[in-house]
A = this chain, B = another copy of it.
Amino acid sequence: MNYNLTFIPARTEKPREYGLTMVMDKGLSLNEAQNLIESSGDYVDFVKLGFGTSLITKNLKEKIKLYQDAGLRPYLGGTLFEIFVIRGLFDGFVKFVEELGLDLVEVSDGSMELDNSVKCDYISELAKRFTVISEVGSKRADVHIPDEEWINMMKNELEAGSWKVIAEARESGTVGIYNKDHSANTKLIDDIVRQVKVENVIWEAPIKSQQAWFIKTLGANVNLGNIAPNEVIALETLRLGLRGDTFFQFLPENMSQK
C-alpha cells in the first residue's frame, strides 16, 4: 500500500487459495489486457475469457501469454465447455485447451442440461490433466434449483475433483444466488456456507452492492468472480475497508460510530 494504515484486514497473497478475484474478459485487446495487468495485476487471480469469446478473439495466444507471464491465470468460460460438449466434441475441447497452453478449465451446465453424474465424470476426467473449477446453477431465470440440490451438486463436484465451485449469477447478477432485483438470495447462500467449505466457493458478484454484501458477510478474503476489468481496484478497496460501503467493517468497536 502507498501508505501504511492501521486496521486494514490481512489479504491473502498470490498464488492464493482463498481471497480470489476472478475477472471477466469479454474480448479485451492486447493493450487493454496490458492496462488491466499494469493497474490491477496484483489483485487478479484468474481471468475468465467469457463464454465463446475465445473462439473469435484475435491474438488469443498472445493475450493468454501476456496474462500468464504477469501471473494472472486465464481460462475459458464454462459456456465454451458446453458449446463443445453439446456438439459431441469433448475431445476437441481438451485439444483446444492444450493448444492454448492453459492449465485451468471450467466445467458448467448453465446453458445445457447435464446429469450431475455425467458432469462429475467430465470433472474427474479433466482433473487428471488440469486444475478444474466447476460452476453450479442455471443461467436461465425460469429454472429453479432447490437449495439442497445446489449443495449436493457442489459437494459432488468438489469430490469429483473440482478445485473450486462457482456459484452462478451471470454477468448481469440477476439469477442463481441473487434475486431479480440484484439482492442476495440469503437463504440459499446461508445454506451453502453451512455445508460447503467457504474457501471452496467462488461467488459471482458483478455488482458493487453484491460485492459489498459478501465482504461484509463472509470477510475480506471471500472469493469473488465476474468482476469487470475496470472495477478490480474498486473491489479491492471494498475488501480492505477503504470505501464507504465497508468503511466500518474492519475497525475496532471504539472507532465504530453506528
A32–B39 touching, CB < 8 Å: yes
How many chain copies? 3
B96–A3 touching, CB < 8 Å: yes
B6–A56 touching, CB < 8 Å: no
Check if A188 is an interface residue, CB within 8 A of chain B: no
Once bound together, how far apart are the Cα atoms of A26 and B235, in whole Å? 10
Check if A16 is an interface residue, CB within 8 A of chain B: no
Q: List 10 A-B contacts (CB under 8 A).
A: A2-B54, A2-B56, A7-B87, A39-B57, A42-B58, A55-B240, A56-B236, A86-B251, A87-B251, A111-B248
Cβ contacts under 8 Å, A148 to chain B: none
Partner of A27, one of B84, B87, B92, B232: B232
B34–A31 touching, CB < 8 Å: yes
What band does the interface of chain A fall in when counting residues whose beta carbon is under 8 Å from B?
Answer: 35 or more
Check if A118 is an interface residue, CB within 8 A of chain B: no
Check if A50 is an interface residue, CB within 8 A of chain B: yes
Partner of A230, one of B26, B43, B96, B247: B26
Within A1-33, the residues touching B (CB, 8 Å) are 1-3, 5-7, 26-32
Check if A237 is an interface residue, CB within 8 A of chain B: yes
